[in-house]
Amino acid sequence: MSNETAFSLANYGITVKKIFRNASPGQLYELGLLNEPGTAISSTGALMAYSGEKTGRSPKDKRIVDDARSRDNVWWGDVNIKLDEHIFMVNRERAIDYLNTKPHLYVVDGFAGWDERYRIKVRIICSRAYHALFMWNMLIRPTTDELESFGDPDYTIINAGQFSANRYTSGMTSKTSVALNFARQEFVILGTEYAGEMKKGVFTIMNYLMPLKGQLSMHCSANESKDGKVSIFFGLSGTGKTTLSADPNRFLIGDDEHVWTDRGVFNIEGGCYAKAINLSAETEPEIFNAIRYGSVLENVVYDKANRDVDYTNISITENTRCSYPVEYIPNAKIPCVGGHPNNVIMLTCDAYGVLPPVAKLSPEQAMYHFISGYTAKVAGTEVGVKEPSPTFSACFGGPFMVWHPSKYAELLAERLKKHDATVWLVNTGWSGGGYGVGKRMSLRHTRAILDAIHDGSLAKVATRKDGVFGFEVPTSCNNLPTELLEPRNTWSDKAAYDDTQKKLAKFFIDNFKKFEAGASDAIKGAGPKL
């Protein structure tokens, strides 16, 4: 076990002597099972853990310190909320004081970014073995020599999530605090044990640093054909980024976070973080088989007798998750880098059931939909509520964008033009009616669409122009039923379709108003027309 008493955290104010630095998964299993209530091993060998009260991110509790060096680059507002330096230090000291009460701590040193020109060194300091194993999976794991010469990190995440913030501290809105300080290059977590906060903290850091260097950081997955043609998949949670990028006929570059540079794309992470709800070996075999020894299952329900996980059980949360090293996917491409994308796919889960399963976008429409970042979420578990709600998240990753969305949009537009990439909008949501009436697009049909995109055949078929949204919709695709490509034909009530399409179009128009000042006339004109 990596028990390096000579390894000190004194420069952080931490006096704990027993520190496990980059402990192996097996050692973290043992420590987690011995010291953390609720941990167990699944029948496939994955470590199961509970994240406590918080089973998802807490975006309303995220703060960025307002400092002179980064102030003019940050898009301040509801996403990036200002925090005073003094309050950050109060919370930091609270976190350090808590960590100093623990008998031992875990340190994970790793890299973010497979391209060595742009990678950063990240250090995680935490008190839960579950958190250490999670980030051991999600960061790029250094070799023995790289760890030996690691030196000081570029950024440090101090995770004291088991201890609450003081809600009466100025600037706090709850007992949860997720605070990033670019000047100190530190990220401090209080009041939430949800491991995804660390993963997205690293992504937020990269979303600030990469545009400073003229590179485009993206909330997307990426894969590559056997002849080297790359596709990237933008999309919010639940749209299919992870599932669709894990294609047995293509090499996986990564499932969630990438950077597009002058050489092509590289994965930021060393692992994948897949949704586990309704997971099965039949529908998602690559992901299902990746859940084994070394993986971390979060907040799942399992049979105590045989330790089989019930992936359909959402009694704890619908946001059940699994993290695993990227090499657990059999056709992962190591190192996780690829050339310039040939196809850019924007995924949306339209719960209104009016968007076509696939549409081809012009460059201006691509910018409009990228800035909009649309998907729809169905209502929660409240009885009788079936109306979906639209979700617009700029650049398909609003909670993690530090600069104004126009910054990322400009970088994307430059790359699309320079490398002549084709942009597609793919709807993985509903057909034949909205949520509660129609049915979700089958994974089989969506994969058939992607196959046609990747083999080039879809770009050659005849299209029709959508009368409201203006994009070009293919009139045929592999063996898909032709009526599926024309959403209106799948609805029994055509008038209801027309009304719902107009309703969705208005949501788009109203949302885009806040971006109009920074958009060209061509991009503003690329939206829906009523």
The set of catalytic residues is 57, 200, 219, 237, 241-242, 256, 321
367 CB-near residues (< 8 Å, 6+ apart): 409, 412, 413, 519, 523, 526
* Cα(162)–Cα(265) distance, integer angstroms: 36
Angle between helices 129-138 and 25-35 (to 10 degrees): 150
3-state secondary structure 392-429: ECHHHCHHHCCCCHHHHHHHHHHHHHHHCCEEEEEECC
State both tokens at 91.
Answer: 């919370």
Closest by Cα among 349, 322, 337, 156 to 235: 349
* Cα(296)–Cα(129) distance, integer angstroms: 11
**What is the dihedral sign for C-alpha 191, 196, 202, 208?**
negative
Cα pseudo-dihedral 354, 357, 362, 363, rounded to 10: 100
* Cα(186)–Cα(205) distance, integer angstroms: 10
Contact 216, 210 (CB under 8 A): yes
The span from the first CA to the last CA of the chain, in angstroms, equals 65
474 CB-near residues (< 8 Å, 6+ apart): 358, 359, 360, 458, 461, 462, 463, 485
Tell me the CA distances in angstroms from 71 to 60, 156, 170, 186, 192, one per residue in order: 20, 20, 20, 16, 27
* Cα(317)–Cα(319) distance, integer angstroms: 5
The 10 Å Cβ neighbour count of residue 490 is 19
One-letter identity of residue 360:
K
Closest by Cα among 513, 488, 514, 482 to 502: 488
